[in-house]
Amino acid sequence: MGHVHLSRQSAVDFFTETVGYKAGVVIDAKRLAKMISSYDEELAVQLHDPNRLGFRFHSSEVQGIVAHLLFKVGNIDDPSTALRTIQLYHKVKNSPFDLACYKHVMECYTKYISEELRKPYPPGTELDPEKFMRASMDPFGRTGLDMAVEVLKGINHQLHISPWGEIRSTNWTDAIELESLFSSEDLTAQYGRFFDQRFIDYLEANFDQIGNIHWRKFEGLTGEYFDREGFIVDVGPGRNDDGIDLRIYPAERRDDAPPLMIVQCKRQKDKIGKALIKSVYADVLHERADSGLVVTSSLISPGAEMMRTARSYPIETADRDTLREWVSKMKVERL
């Protein structure tokens, strides 16, 4: 496409709006500059400089910046803009069988897409790739099918990261402000019950931020995990909750049944001490629950862990490493 000329404000608006559209996540100018700094530190400074008049970008540079931003918000796993079909070629080129399969699959794709593009489909129509996938299997069987799937994923990825088109992997019905993950106690989630999927994807890519999210969002993240595991989750009011943040019930809950588990969430830097373990145990007895769970963005102190196990308290713990596993399990399978 050649070069693109943008004023400083137009560049800020273009990148933030593109991320908002493609990833469904709104970032402000300050966050934009911070994210770009790991891609091009000088550009990040210039975007934040009110005296900067404008920029002259090559179109490939714009795509690289957009891909990097999508990666930073957790929307894609790989910020590379290299064609996935070329990467696939280099992966198989030393195997005669796989290389022959690759050439066959690409021939099938070229024929398939040429035929499909000649049809008068209305804008926004999703193409059915079944014909291409079936053709790729003959005569290479499962290898051809797997390679066809990889080709389709690669092409969809390229279309998604392109800043020049409207194609995206998810047609988001709204856009969430990333800053609300750190500042808002609202647990409304368009893509999730208590914690939005886009926040999960962001944390999976930026897990070092887990201790900085709002304490109420931390409770929502815990509730979201148990909800997806098939439990009934009762999230407390957040304030004046008598120390019980969540009550977890089995899927077949009886109205008069006590909780299966009560949960105390602690988004903090300090290690969990003995006093909290004792407090949760008292709540377990009071609620007649089967067990308790302490979830923390930090760690359990050795003394608290020793006391928990020595006294056989029916209390489990989920520390920072466990949270990382939860987030990884809930992330979206990306292209």
92-136 pLDDT per residue, tens: 999 999 999 999 999 999 999 999 999 998 887 889 999 999 999
The pair of structure tokens assigned to 335 is 């292209």
Domain-located, residue 310: yes
Tell whether pTM > 0.75: yes
For 144-189, the pLDDT digits (tens) are: 999 999 999 999 999 999 999 999 999 999 999 999 999 999 999 9
Q: Computed from CA positions of residues 191, 196, 201, 202, in that sequence, does the dihedral angle turn out positive or negative?
A: positive
The span from the CA of 35 to the CA of 297, in Å, is: 23
Dihedral of alpha carbons 209, 210, 214, 217, sign: positive
Same domain, 143 and 213: no
Dihedral sign computed on CA atoms, order 64, 70, 73, 78: negative
Cα-based distances in Å from 335 to 62, 157, 170, 172, 330: 21, 6, 11, 16, 16
pLDDT digit string (tens) for 283-322? 999 999 999 999 999 999 999 999 999 999 999 999 999 9
Q: Does a structural domain hold residue 185? A: yes
246: enclosing H helix or E strand: strand 246-249
- In percent, the amount of the chain with pLDDT more than 90 equals 90
Residues 184 and 282 in one domain: yes
Secondary element (H or E) of residue 175:
none
User: Which domain, by its residues, includes 38?
Assistant: 3-72
Confidence of residue 334 (pLDDT cuts 50, 70, 90): low
Residue 174 lies in a domain: no
pLDDT tens track for 132-147 = 999 999 999 999 999 9
Q: Could you tell me if 47 and 102 lie in one domain?
A: no
Res 255 pLDDT > 80: no
d(CA 328, CA 65): 25
In a domain, 170, yes or no: no
